Structure formats: C-alpha cells, structure tokens
C-alpha cells in the first residue's frame, strides 16, 4: 500500500518556486544571477503598518487565539474597503479572513467541490488554481486564451465551457501571469453569460486590483452585475498592493452559508490567521494609501521598459499588459534554434533553462501557467536589474543559431 495519498498523484510542485530555488542555488555558487521569478513587490511594508503590528504586540493583542476567520476590527475594515472601493455591501458575517488569499481560495474550493464538479479556469492562469481544485476533489476546466485576444476569455468561449457540472468560474483580473485586466465591457460580456446559468458561481481573485496603469479602471463582477452578488465570492488581500506577502492575510466577501462553511474548515485546520498580521492588515486597509500610486509609477516604468526591450529581442513578442507586475512574452520565435551550449530549444522550459545557464537570468516558463511557448517575467525588482536582465535576454536571443 502506498504511503502517500493518491490525490497527490495529480499535483505538480510550483514551477515558480522551482525557478526561484534554482536561481538561489546558482547565486550561492557565486554566479551573477538576476531573479525575475518571484511574485512579490520588492518594496518594504510601509512603516505605519509595521508600527501597528508592534503596538498590537506591546498591547498584548497578539498573545491569544482570535476569532477563527478574523477579528471584528479587520472584518469591519474589509467591509468598508468593499463598500468604498468596489461599491459592494457586505456585512461582517459575510467576510472571511485567512492566512493569505491562498488559504481563502483553498477553503472555498474545499467547502464547495464534490467529485466531478468543474471549475472553469481561463488560461494562462496562476499555477496554483488547477492544483487547488484537484486537491479539493474537483475538475479544472481550462479555457485557452491567446496573446491576440489580450489573454482574455470571450463570452462565447465561456458559454461553450459551461456544463451542468460547472460549479465555479474562476476569474483573476489583473492576472498572474499575464498582467491582463478585463475592462468593464469585457467583464460585462462574461457576466451576461453567467446571468443565464444560475448554477454557476463566480470566484473572482482581485488580488492585483490596485496594481493597474495608464488610467485603467478596475471592476469586479458583482459590482457590474448585481444579479450575480448572491453567487459571487470576491477574494482579495493585502499581500501585493500593501507589500505584505510575508504577513499572510487574505480575505473574501460572499454569501453567508459559504463564509460559515469556510470558517468551519479553517477552525478544524489552521484556526485564526496570525493575530499580529491581522492588526497590521487593519492599519493597511484603514490607513493612508499614498504609497500605492508612488509604487505604481515605478511599476509602470518597469513594465514599459520590459515591453520595449523584449520586443527588440530576436524571436520574442511581448504584449503590453494593463496591470499586476508581470509580462508574459511569447518565445515561439526562438523554438528550434540552438543555444550556446549546443542544446536545441524544443520547449519554453529549454528556453528558460538555457537563458539561466548562459546569462544568469531567472524567469519562469509559460507552460505550467497553461500557455506556451512563453515565459513570465516578474518586474517587481529594482529597475536597474530589470534593465540589465532585458539586455541579457536580448543578447541571449541574438546569440541563438
């Protein structure tokens, strides 16, 4: 009898963590490596948020267990955020707080998926989505998008993917890994379809909401289609916009029975997210947000730099995304060519492996995100490093034979 569970047979380790580990090992060995793999801001958590956490510790607010799915103060701050930023009315009893957006998403799938239940996931997608769905016993249903469509799913494609077994549509705008974000009318094309399919629920992962550029206006499904409010789980968190990936706080607003079920799962697994981090998140949501446009100005400059420089690399095509801190260029024009080591590039994995070998630039291949040959660059690192990395990619592509 096998010791490890059969359910693990379908699960892959995260490709993004694998590339980060490989880059770290090369660095330790003395190589000059630029890591563009990690999906987290290079900026530090703002001081007012850190101070709130220190104060919570000093005031003895961090010593004890808290309410399983979030302290009242944080749930209220989340309700205020949804109301003022998204026009959504949620009561504290409709809010769940977990250990990062990741736990909130996982709880939602465990709470709702029976064997055979389908979750529609537009590709490219965040690597964890299909694996989470499978761990929870469901079936991911990929809907491929194209670079030409801006990596966005059309209403027709959504309609074709819906079956009687569809439980969720999982949306992520702005997207990891493409940075693509749906405009109001693009989102409306999807919500119009969903209105006609009452058994399909919407799980919207709005983690990159605040990271949009060029006056792009962010919308979330329940905001533009109130008829979907009762069957939408709106997931968000403080990790990306507030530079708090290490603090591990995510949250969601949704129908009360689902929120209760998610709390029950959390109560029998991890219990409350860290009390210190919850108090830090209260300050993040209620405190000043002037650092967000400052960071966005820098992110936008880096995005523009990447897009311009990568489009000058031989065999690379890089669309300009609306948000997040990723670009997702195609490397189709390099496939079949030969790298300096003599290796013929057959896949995007070969491309990123040889790029790391030849030029010490760590990026993640596109295929694990559901679309290749391509690669993901996270430009959430110093602008000078982004520029140097793009120069090295240009050189690498120019040297392919």
Ligand X SMILES: Cc1ncc(COP(=O)(O)O)c(C=O)c1O
Question: Which residues contribute to the site for ligand X (CB under 6 A)?
Answer: 39, 100-102, 126, 172, 176, 205, 207, 237, 239, 245, 250
Distance of CA 324 to the CA centre of its chain: 8
CB of 119 to ligand X, least distance (A): 14
C-beta closer to ligand X: residue 313 or 377: 377
Rounded Cα distance between 49 and 45, Å, is 7
C-beta closer to ligand X: residue 121 or 335: 121
Q: Other CB atoms closer than 10 Å to residue 277's CB: what's the count?
A: 25
C-beta closer to ligand X: residue 245 or 330: 245
Rounded Cα distance between 361 and 399, Å, is 15
CB of 54 to ligand X, least distance (A): 22
C-beta closer to ligand X: residue 207 or 318: 207
At residue 15, what are phi and psi to the nearest 5 degrees?
A: -70, -30
Rounded Cα distance between 192 and 185, Å, is 10
Q: Which residue has the tokens 């493409």?
A: 178
CB of 102 to ligand X, least distance (A): 3
Written in H, E and C, the secondary structure of 70-100 is CCHHHHHHHHHHHHHHHCCCCCHHHEEEECH
C-beta closer to ligand X: residue 250 or 315: 250
Token readout for 132 is 């989470």
C-beta closer to ligand X: residue 85 or 357: 85
CB of 60 to ligand X, least distance (A): 27
Rounded Cα distance between 299 and 363, Å, is 18
CB of 164 to ligand X, least distance (A): 28
The per-residue DSSP string of 120-145 comes to: EEEES--THHHHHHHHTT-EEEEEE-
CB of 27 to ligand X, least distance (A): 22
Residue of minimal CB distance from ligand X?
100
CB of 172 to ligand X, least distance (A): 5
- What is each CA distance from 243 to 9, 71, 248, 333, 368, in whole angstroms? 34, 21, 11, 35, 25
User: Do the Cβ atoms of 249 and 240 come closer than 8 Å?
Assistant: no
C-beta closer to ligand X: residue 101 or 254: 101
């Amino acid at each position: 009898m096998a010791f490890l569970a059969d359910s693990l047979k379908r699960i892959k380790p995260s490709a993004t963590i694998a590339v980060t580990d490989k880059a770290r090992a090369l660095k330790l060995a003395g190589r000059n490596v630029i890591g563009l793999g990690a999906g987290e801001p290079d900026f530090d958590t703002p001081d007012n948020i850190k101070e709130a956490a220190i104060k919570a510790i000093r005031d003895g607010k961090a010593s004890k267990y808290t309410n399983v799915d979030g302290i009242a103060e944080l749930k209220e701050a989340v309700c205020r955020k949804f109301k003022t930023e998204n026009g959504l009315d949620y009561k504290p009893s409709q809010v769940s707080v977990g250990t990062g957006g990741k736990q909130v998403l996982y709880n939602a799938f465990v709470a709702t998926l029976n064997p055979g239940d389908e979750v529609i996931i537009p590709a490219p997608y965040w690597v964890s989505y299909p694996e989470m769905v499978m761990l929870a016993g469901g079936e991911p249903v990929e809907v491929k998008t194209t670079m030409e469509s801006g990596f966005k799913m059309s209403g027709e494609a959504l309609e074709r993917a819906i079956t009687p077994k569809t439980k969720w549509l999982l949306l992520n705008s702005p997207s990891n890994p493409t940075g693509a974000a749906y405009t109001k009318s693009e989102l409306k094309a999807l919500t119009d379809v969903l209105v006609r399919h009452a058994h399909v629920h919407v799980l919207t992962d709005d983690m990159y909401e605040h990271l949009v550029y060029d006056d792009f206006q962010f919308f979330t499904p329940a905001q533009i289609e109130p008829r979907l409010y009762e069957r939408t789980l709106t997931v968000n968190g403080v990790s990306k916009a507030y530079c708090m990936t290490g603090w591990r706080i995510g949250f969601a607003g949704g129908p009360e029975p689902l929120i209760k079920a998610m709390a029950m799962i959390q109560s029998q697994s991890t219990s409350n997210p860290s009390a210190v981090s919850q108090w830090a998140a209260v300050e993040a949501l209620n405190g000043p947000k002037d650092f967000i446009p400052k960071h966005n100005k820098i992110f936008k400059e880096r995005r523009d730099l990447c897009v311009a420089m990568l489009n000058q690399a031989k065999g690379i095509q890089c669309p300009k995304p609306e948000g997040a801190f990723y670009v997702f260029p195609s490397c189709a024009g390099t496939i079949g060519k030969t790298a300096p080591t003599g290796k013929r590039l057959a896949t995007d994995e070969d491309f990123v492996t040889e790029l790391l070998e030849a030029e010490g630039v760590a990026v993640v291949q596109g295929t694990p995100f559901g679309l290749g040959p391509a690669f993901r660059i996270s430009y959430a690192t110093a602008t000078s490093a982004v520029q140097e990395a793009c120069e090295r990619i240009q050189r690498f592509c120019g040297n392919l034979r």
